[in-house]
Structures are given as structure tokens and as C-alpha cells.
Amino acid sequence: SQKIEQNSEALNIQEGKTATLTCNYTNYSPAYLQWYRQDPGRGPVFLLLIRENEKEKRKERLKVTFDTTLKQSLFHITASQPADSATYLCALGGSYIPTFGRGTSLIVHP
Amino acid sequence: DGGITQSPKYLFRKEGQNVTLSCEQNLNHDAMYWYRQDPGQGLRLIYYSQIVNDFQKGDIAEGYSVSREKKESFPLTVTSAQKNPTAFYLCASSILSGQAYYGYTFGSGTRLTVV
């Protein structure tokens, strides 16, 4: 069955450093991958999409890579700020309804 | 401003009671979805609808029911048949053809607790 893995342990980093979050998947050949941000008690907010034929996508301080051979996406936040602290979810799609991972909590310390 | 409104934000249900969660969107999106989120788990799809008067079961539809009488509205009823309803419920909508590129728009959620 399809499986999406995101690190269940929170990632703690210092302000100004680059945060890197991982999304691994098995038994799946997604056409695209999305990243969302979720704050406590709120709904997720769509951040970025990367398609299977794209290696890298950037948006301001965000960068996403997609390696279909490794079956992995990396999500980077450069020059991280305490305001970036949240849970980040990846979602894989190909058929109509994407499948979401559990998310990884990022904590940026001032 | 366009968006999705979920109400209420908090809901308490007694054993054996049916409750209905509201979801309204003014984004003119064709598709709407209901997800359930439990601590440490990903979003699990309950029901989705692509057009008015049509909806499909998701992965965990048992104990839930929906209706889609209007494009803007997609209420979810949690019935007494749902044995473990305590969770955070999220409603979402999307453009049907551009769902991948634009992603989902989510509401702020309803936290349901059985008392």
C-alpha cells in the first residue's frame, strides 16, 4: 500500500539557519507533490507544488526538491525565523485526490 | 475576502447523538472535501464532492454522512454509528481542473469532543 513518511520528531533549529524537512514515499509514483504549512488549531495552508518532471522549485525563502529515483522530497526554509515555526505537511498526488503525510513540526529558536 | 468558513469551532457531542458540522465556501470552487485529523496522524479523507448533488466516500466514511445541495455548502453529519468521533475536522475546497497547481484551500477546522 502507499506510504508517506515524514519525520515524527520535531526539528529544532536556531534562527537564521536553514531548515530542511523530508518527505519519503513508497509504493507510489506521484505526478506531483505539494507542501502545506499548518499552525496549531488551524487548517493547512498551501505553499508549493512541484511536478514529477521538475527537480527543484523556489518561492521566496522556500525551496523544494523532488527526486523520483530516491522517492523523496526535501523542503528547505532559508534564513529561518521564529515565525516559521509550524507543522509542515507533504501531499502526493497523481490521481484526483492527493494523499497527505503526518507532518513534521519545525521549531525555530530565537 | 474569499475563503472557507467552518462552524462551530468547538463542538461537544453526547453519546448516541448526531451532530452536523457546517462548511461554506465563497471561492466558486467545484470540489469540496472533508478530512479528519487525529494527533500524530495525517489527514484522512472522509467524503468528497466534485459537483452539486454528487459525493463520494473517502477512506473512512463509516459513521459519517454528507450532502451537497448547493455549490457553496458541504455539511458533514457525524452519526451515532461513529464510535470514535473525537477529532479535528477540516473542510477543504479546490478548483477541479487546477487542484494540483493551486492546492486545497482549507477552513479553520472544527474540534469535536465526545462528552
SS (H, E, C) chain A: CCEEEECCCCEEEECCCCEEEEEEEECCCCCEEEEEEECCCCCCEEEEEEECCCCEEEECCEEEEEECCCCEEEEEECCCCHHHCEEEEEEEECCCCCEECCCEEEEEEC
Q: Give the pLDDT confidence score for residue A82 in this predicted structure.
A: 98
Half-sphere exposure of residue B88, counting CA atoms within 13 Å on the CB side?
17
pLDDT of B99: 60
pLDDT of residue A69: 92
Window 76-95 of B, Cβ < 8 Å to A = 88, 90, 92
Nearest chain B residue to A105 by CA: give it: B40
A85-98: pLDDT as tens digits: 999 999 998 766 88
Nearest-Cα distance to chain B for A27, in Å, is 17
- Residue of chain A nearest B95, judged by CA positions: A96
What is the mean pLDDT of each successive set of 10 residues along chain B, which is 115 residues long?
90 91 95 93 92 94 97 96 92 78 90 92
Q: What is residue A33's predicted lDDT score, i.e. its pLDDT?
A: 92
Cβ-nearest to A100 among B42, B99, B105: B42
Closest residue in A to B94 (Cα–Cα): A97
Q: What confidence score (pLDDT) does residue A103 get?
A: 95
**Residue A87: CB atoms within 10 Å:** 19
pLDDT at residue A95, as a whole number: 66
How many other C-beta atoms lie within 10 A of the C-beta of residue B97?
A: 10
CA angle B25–B93–A92, rounded 5-degree value: 165
List pLDDT tens digits, range A6-56: 988 999 999 999 999 999 999 888 889 999 999 999 999 999 999 989 999
Non-local (6+) Cβ contacts of B69 within 8 A are B52, B53
Question: Looking at residue A88, what is its pLDDT?
Answer: 97
